[in-house]
Every structure is written in structure tokens, then in C-alpha cells.
Structure 1
Amino acid sequence: MDDILSRVKKIHFIGIGGSGMCPIAEILIHRGYQISGSDNSESDTLARVRTYGIPVYMGQKAENLHDAELVVYSAAIKEDNPERVAARERKIPEIERSVMLGMVVRRYPDSICVSGTHGKTTTTGLITTILMDAGRDPSAVIGGKLPSIGTNGRAGHSGTIVCEACEYVDTFLQLYPAVSVILNVDADHLDYFKNLSNIIKSFHQFATQTSRAVVVNGDDLNSQKALEGIDNLEIITFGLDPKNRYYATNIAPTKGAKENFDIVKDGTPLCNVTLGIPGKHNIYNALAAFAVADYFGVPVESIKKSLHTFTGVHRRFEILGHFDGITVADDFAHHPTELTATLSAAMHMGFHEVWAIFQPHTFSRTAMLLDDFAKALTIPDHVIVSEILPVRETNTYHIYAEDLVKKVPSAVYRKTFPEITDYVIEKAKPGDLILTLGGGDVYKCANQIVKRYQEKA
């Protein structure tokens, strides 16, 4: 199957507007393939796809395949989809998106795949930005929109690709990178992995599929466990502990809680960095990106400048506006570790009070990590919890948003986004931060809040 890209030219994408699909289609069209696609609703992504001359059909029908020689589908597309049914009837090969991503990545000699339970999108965006700023012209597949390019992927003309490597359902095991990054290994997706031991085993397997070097968080015990027994690769460690090859020292927050620190390599100070994004967790992300860029020979001063000018990616502490002294922001945090990192950063940014609006994401994650979520949500001044977003699950766990609210003294429950919007706009005062958090569609609540403030103005 891996050689199929050498045998076909016409590829059809079902769900081409998906954030994980569009960058792959973009890369393939720049490599000379004829691409077509279908989707169910219009979006900015589809508008971008069409700028490449890719025909996009609305709705899924058998006739959309035309003379396609290969069909690619996203994980959300079921077997009974009319286009998948037609592909099987016509004996057209069909492959899932992650498999295609693996095939594409293997065609780049310098492939960089960024894994980790937390921080993948930010770090992938950082590495992409550093390489672009240095004139390396990488291709990229990122899990969120990078403001500097206005999209979540790009088709470069070099032999380098930077790719986010997601662990969910072992998707990242489709990837065989030249250089892999392991940011951290934490208990998540337990509906699939069942326990932390299985997660560590999967990260170990991902590391063994690397051909040249693994850049790994030397402060994270689980990441270190994932590398046990691997002695045929260059292991490059980063962290805050001086035992790491790259480490940060003299850490001090600057105005707006942006992090300032010195980077040391092999005991030798290299430079002082002021990050363009806040939070201790982003020091780790920046160190990982620095180590990768240095490995590929990007000059230190160039890396330093990129780290300073990088303002983040879409839905990662994204500031949406300032209204009568009130700041509204949105963040993708949906795991207790991510909530703790983001809320801790928010509480040190000089706001009068922080209003956290949290949408729990999946019944399984909420049930299995309930006490950890409750602990994280004690950090801000005020907490508003919405209904749990079920995603792909039914509530066999018998867990409800109210169960979380009962464990957090400062929390209230409001079922819908309009109710939350009314509540927080009534309560928030000048100098406050309103921060929406979650991996689902809680950004819609943030947009409603922004709209209400704009209407008031």
C-alpha cells in the first residue's frame, strides 16, 4: 500500500474541509497530483482549497468520485458513506487520513514529527515558524491555525516537513520520522488506552520508528520510561533540570507574564530569550523547538528572534478582544494538566479576576479524571461549567457537569452558551479576564461574548 502514491495521480478526499485533511491535499497538489474533494458544509478551509483549483462537491454522492484512483477519508467518515461504498464497488483503494499522512511524511528526508499529550500544536507551530523565518521553506501539518500563514498547513519546496503526531487511537504509529519530539506523556484518552502503561508503550513504539534522533523532555518521568531500551538513536534532552542537554535557567516573567530565560546547551550559555507566549509550559515547548532547530543548523540568533515574535496558534490562549477593560480569550485546554498550565499562566498575568468557562470534553475523560479536573478548576477566581460535550460517546459513565461543579467551591453550572454569556457579562468587571476552555465548540461561547460586548459598544 505504501507504494500507492507512485502508482496513482488522481486522489479524492472525503471531508476535504477537515483541519487534518486540507494540508495533506495541499501538499499533494503541489507534488503534482490531481485532487478532488467533497464536504457537507462551507468553511474558510474549503474556500482555501478552491484557490488551488481543487473541485469540491457539497454533500457525498457516488458520482463525486469521477475517475479517482485513490480515496482518502477522515476518521469521522463511516463505512456506509456513499462515496466509500462506491469506491469499494469500483475497487478503488481507500485509506484513512492518518495512513495517507504517514505516506506523505515518508517522502520527506527531513521529517520532524511532534508528539506529546500536551503542547503538540504550539510546538509544531513554533518549529514551523522558526524554519520559515530561517528560509528553510518547510511543509507543515499543524493541529491549529498558524496566524502568520493564516492556515494550519503549508506546502513548502524543501525536503523538510513538520508534522503534529497525535497519539489518539495510536494514529502517530503511522509515522516514521527522521526526528521525533516527545513533549510529555500523560494519562489521557483512557477510553482507548485503558491505562498509563499502555500509553507509555505506544510512545515507545513511536520512538522506535524514528530513524535519526529523538528530542525528549528530560524532566518528564513517563517520557523517559518511553525511551527505555532504545540505544540506536541520538537522544536529545530538554527541560529545566541542568542534567538536560538543553535547559532553561534564570527564568523570570516579564510584562504580561511573558517568560524570559537563558538557554544553556551542554553547559554553555547560548542566548537569552523572551517568549511571545505566556506560561511555564511554553518554556518547555520553546526548548523543544529550539533543540530541533539547532539540530538542523538554524543559527541561534534566528531561533531566538522567532521565539520572541511567535504569538501562538489558534485557540491556544488566543486573545479575542478587549472590551471596556475586560479581556476575552479562548484556549483549547481540555485535560487537567492543560487546564492547570493555562489557568496558572492566566492568574499571573496581572488581571483583577479570572473567569474560567469550561466545557468538559467526553464523558470518559470527565469521569476518569474528575478529581484532577476539580483540582485544576480551583485555580481561577470564578468557574462556569457547561454541559459535557459527548463527542463520540454515550453516557455509560453516568457522569454529569453538576458532578464536577459540586467539587469546585467557586463553580456554577449553566447548561447553554447563551446562559453562560448572560451570566459572565453581568458579573465581569474592568480588569478581568474571561477565558473559555475546552477541546469542543466552547469557542462559540467566546464568540457570543465578544459579539455581545461589541453590540454594547
Structure 2
Amino acid sequence: MMNNPNPISTYLVPGKRVHLVGIGGVSMCPLAEVLRGMGLLVQGSDMTDSDTVEHLRGLGIPVAIGHNAENLGDCDFVVRTAAVHDSNPEIAGAVARGIPVYERAQAWGAIMRHYPNALCVSGTHGKTTTTSMCTHIFMAAQADPTVMIGGTLPLLHAGYRVGHGDTIILESCEYCNSFLSFFPTVAVILNVEEDHLDFFKDLADIERSFHRFAELVPAAGHVVVNADNPGAMDAVAGVDRPLFTFGLDHPADCTAANLREADGVPDFDVLIRGEKYAHVTLHVYGRHNVLNALAAASAAWVLGIPGSAVEAGLSAFTGAGRRFEHKGTFNGAELYDDYAHHPDELHALLTTARAMGYRRVVVAFQPHTYTRTAKLFDQFVEELKLADVVILAEIYAAREQNTLGISSADLCRNIPGSVYCSTLDKVAEQLRQTAQPGDLILTVGAGDIYRAGEKLLKKD
């Protein structure tokens, strides 16, 4: 990387001052707290103020709003998110001053090397939920894990924890090949689909990245892979590491038997190579969550966790923050929020929602990034048609500039009966006018669409 004659581990010692660029991000915030807990002096910057930024300030971590080279102060090294580019003034300022710059993933990778068991959960979809399920299982087993999740888990009241056991559990993202800086002893691959096409060329390029991720596992480790997902299986083809498969539709080492719905949620036996390992009753909906649970159970099994902990952990799991999270009731309609921002995730969410028996499914969707919306436009259109009512918020820019000239209004023109709203206030007002008793209202997207639901509930 840039200006880096030494590995980042040489800087991860008490008393060193680190500056985090993008400190308010979902994996940067926990990194800030973990580094602070290790005795480092932590500071950072972010583009906007947020609840996360205020939380960090409450811990005594100074956070500047806006990016400026002066924010670096007298820091010893810099850690940035994958979304921060070389042209960022703080990165350019660090390079000019000879301050080493490292990636967020390199920091997590250096931290995980201290753990005998590094359980890394990857995939295009389902990472947060499956990492959360693994956390529940390992907590039930009293393994005292260290955890980093890309969302909030009610069990932890946060998206991370610092434990004292021999296991670290990390949500592992492929964007910008971030997870290739990790050192997994167990690599879980949930699925491999087209996404992040602002970085990857195509699906084959994404599969190559996951292949390299699987090859990071040592010979004594395991690659846990979804036998039902063609992209995942293509990605691990030729990998010379122990493979452990899970699935429902294809032969696999771990599968479900006696699968049924009990009070609307899945209930099943987990079989490992034909032998019963655990009996699971989930409290989250959908076939996709059965697969997530099988992935978590597989990871637990290869790491020697007893089936009783799988039963207890998954029984207590009610979902991660922003993953089909119940927010409240408005005018007799139930309001949920979900992080889905890819067509496949929308399909899983909306097919599950339609099977739940509500009078109508009302979706307020906020696309995430211009490139994703453009590249997967037709798929978004088709999946959104599964809803009875579609309200479209403007695209959430995240790390991008709108060089493509695309808008959610373009989606609206292709979805009959849909409504386009240019602001979240207008989304909330449209929901207020639309909601009827018996409806299921979903605010959906990886940006700040949840705020529209919160505005709606405040008006109730």
C-alpha cells in the first residue's frame, strides 16, 4: 500500500495515534473502538455528522466533519475505508507528509492473526445475518468471541464485541477485494452474484476474488460453501482446501430435514452427513434464512461447537438491525425496515413478505449507488413489481457522484403504479397517505430510507 515500509501490525501498539478516514462507517466505528481498547490514541473524520459519530465523540474520540489534510494532526498512521480514494485530501496529505496509509481490512486482518480461530463470513447477500447467527451460537457456547458485524445486533447492543476467547468472527466484504487482507481459518461463502460492478468487471471477476479468498484458508482450516449457489460453487472449483458444503436443493455435508413452518417461521433438524446435529426453530422468516442458519451451523460444527449451542443460539436470534426489523405500527399497518439493496435480496425479502398473509405489501425503496442501479436496472424493476405498492426514494449516492445521470424516477417510469419521491419527507408523507389496516410496510435500502419510516411513526 501507500508509504508503507512496515506492516500495520508494527503500529498496533499502545500510545500510537491513528487517524481513521470515514470513521462513521459500519466497520470503521467498531475498529475505532477496538483500537481504542488496545490502547491506541484514536481520532478520525467523516463526511457527515451521524448518530455513530456522536457515539464515538461520547467515548472521547475526536471526529472532524469533512475531509481536510489538517485533520491528520500529529497522527502516526492512517486507516481508510475502501470507499475513500487516493484523491481524498487526507490521504493525499498523509502521502505528502510520509505518514503510512493502510486499508481498514488490513487493520482487521492484523487483529485477527492473534486468534487461533478466525471465522470470516462472506457472500454477496446474507453476511450480516449469518455473522449474527454465528455470534449467537458462539455466545451460547460460552466461547467469548470477538465479533465485527456490519450492522447492529441486539444481543450485543452494538455491531461488535471484544472477547477473550480464541475465536474472532468477522463479516467479510468482497468490495475492493477487502477480504483478501484477512487471515481466515474458516471461510464461509454464502453466495456469489453480480454486485459492486463499479469495482469488479463482471461475475467471473467476482468469482476469482472469492476463489482467492478461499485459498487464504490454511490446510488445516475449512471453506464452508453453499452447494445451492452456482456462483459460490464455481468460485471454489479447484480450491485445494477442505470444503464443507451446506444446502437444501443439492447434496451437501450439512442440510435440513423435516423442514416445516411453525407459527410462520422455519423449524427443522440440522443434519451433518446424515446424522442429526441440532434441532432448530428460527424466529426469522424465509428460506434464505434457513440457508443462513445452515451456514452458521456448518461453521460451528467444523470448529467443534456442540449442537446444543446451535439450538440455543439460533432460538434466541430474532434478527440483526435493519434486517427485517420491526419498527412499529401506523394506522393498523405493520412497519418493518430492511437493508436489501440488490435484486436478489429484494426477491428474497418480497417473496417472504408476500407469503406472510398481509393485505398488501407496500415498499418504500431507496436504491443504493448509481452504478448498481444502472447495471442491475432491469432486475430491480422486475423484483419491485412483486410489491403491491411501490414508493421510490431518490438514489442514495454513498461513495459516488452521479456521472450516469440516473434517477429513481427512471425506475418509476418502468414500474406501473409506482410513485417517485425526491426527498425522505415526501416518502414519509406518501406512506402516511397510503397506509391502511392490514398492510405490511417495508422501508428498504442500504442508505437512510429507515428515516422515512421513523418520520412516519413520529406522526402517528
TM-score of the superposition, structure 2-length normalised?
0.91
Deviation at residue 17 of structure 1 after TM alignment: 3.1
Given residue 243 of structure 1, which amino acid in structure 2 is its aligned partner?
P
Task: Give the letter aligned to residue 107 of structure 1.
Answer: H
> Is the 1:330–1:435 Cα contact (8 Å) retained in structure 2?
yes
Deviations 1:159-201 (A, max 9, x none): 2111111111211111121110000001111222121111111
TM superposition shift of 1:136: 0.8
Cα pair 2:365 2:391 within 8 Å, conserved? yes
Q: Which of 373, 381, 398 is 1:366 aligned to?
A: 373
Q: How far off its partner does 1:230 sit?
A: 1.3
Aligned CA distance change for structure 1 residues 405 and 443 (closer, same or farther; 3 Å): same
Give the Cα–Cα distance (whole angstroms) in 1 for the partners of residues 95 and 373 of structure 2. 38
Q: 2:334 aligns with which of 327, 336, 342?
A: 327
CA distance change for structure 1 residues 77 and 363 in 2, over 3 Å: closer, same or farther? closer
Map 1:143-222 to 2 at 5 A.
143-211=150-218, 212-222=221-231
Q: Is the 8 A contact 2:137 2:314 kept in 1?
A: yes
Q: Distance in 2 between matches of 1:84 and 1:270?
A: 50
Does the 8 Å CA contact 2:227/2:233 hold for their aligned counterparts? Answer: yes
Aligned to 1:225: 234
Displacement after TM superposition at 1:280 (Å): 0.9
Q: Is the 8 A contact 2:8 2:102 kept in 1?
A: no
Determine if contact 1:378/1:410 at 8 Å carries over to the other structure: no
Deviation at residue 8 of structure 1 after TM alignment: 5.3
Correspondent of 1:277 among 284, 293, 305: 284
CA deviations on 1:241-285 (whole Å, 9 max, x unpaired) are 361010013322232x32222211101233331111111111111
Q: State which of 247, 260, 266 in structure 1 corresponds to 2:255.
A: 247
The 3 A distance-change label for structure 1 pair 133 and 235 is same
Instruction: Give how far 1:328 is off.
Output: 0.8
Q: More deviation in 401-410 or 39-48?
A: 39-48
Contact 1:26–1:154 (Cα < 8 Å) also in 2:
no
**Alpha-carbon distance change, 89 to 368 in structure 1, aligned in 2, over 3 angstroms:** closer
Displacement of 1:89 in angstroms is 4.7
Deviation digits for residues 285-310 of structure 1 (CA, Å, limit 9, x no counterpart): 11101111122222212211211111
Q: Does 1:425 align with 2:432?
A: yes
**C-alpha spacing 1:65/1:386, structure 2 compared with 1 (3 Å):** closer
Q: 1:117 to 1:193 in 2, by over 3 A?
A: same
**Structure 2: how far apart are the matches of 1:374 and 1:36?**
42
Q: Which residue of 2 aligns with 1:446?
A: 453
Q: Shift of residue 81 of structure 1?
A: 5.5
| Cα separation, 1, equivalents of 2:441 and 2:456 | 9
Q: Shift of residue 320 of structure 1?
A: 0.5
Q: In structure 2, which of residues 90, 103, 106 is the aligned counterpart of residue 96 of structure 1?
A: 103
> Closer, same or farther in 2 for the Cα pair 1:87/1:363, shift >3 Å?
closer
Q: Which moved more, 1:183-192 or 1:24-33?
A: 24-33
Q: Is the 8 A contact 1:382 1:410 kept in 2?
A: yes
Cα separation, partners in 2 of 1:37 and 1:423, compared to 1, 3 Å? closer
Bigger mean CA offset, 168-177 vs 27-36? 27-36
AA aligned opposite 2:251 = K
* Residues 1:57 and 1:191: Cα distance change in structure 2 (over 3 Å): closer
Residues 393-428 of structure 1 deviation map (CA, whole Å, 9 limit, x = unaligned): 444444332332233234222322222222222222
Number of residue pairs matched by the alignment: 450
| Distance (Å, rounded) in 2 between the aligned partners of 1:68 and 1:387 | 38
Report sequence identity in percent: 43
Structure 2: gaps of 5 or more residues: none
Whole-Å Cα distance in 2 between the matches of residues 76 and 222 of structure 1? 25
Which one of 21, 33, 37 corresponds to residue 40 of structure 2?
33
User: Could you state the TM-score of these two structures normalised by the residue count of structure 1?
Assistant: 0.91
* 1:62 CA drift (Å): 5.9
State the Cα deviation string for residues 366-400 of structure 1 (Å, max 9, x = none).
22222211221121211112222333344444433
CA offsets, 1:307-327, max 9 Å, x none?
111111111111101234211
Deviation at residue 47 of structure 1 after TM alignment: 5.0
Equivalents in 1 of 2:63, 2:197: separation in Å?
37
Contact 2:18 2:40 in 1 (8 A): no
| CA RMSD in angstroms, aligned pairs only | 2.3
CA distance in 1, matches of 2:89, 2:426: 39
Listed as ranges, the gaps of 5+ residues in structure 1 are: none
Contact kept, 8 Å, 2:330 with 2:435, in 1: the verdict is no
Return the letter of the residue paired with 2:319. Answer: G
**Deviation for aligned residue 1:134:** 1.6
Q: 1:26, 1:155 within 8 Å by CA — same for their partners in 2?
A: no
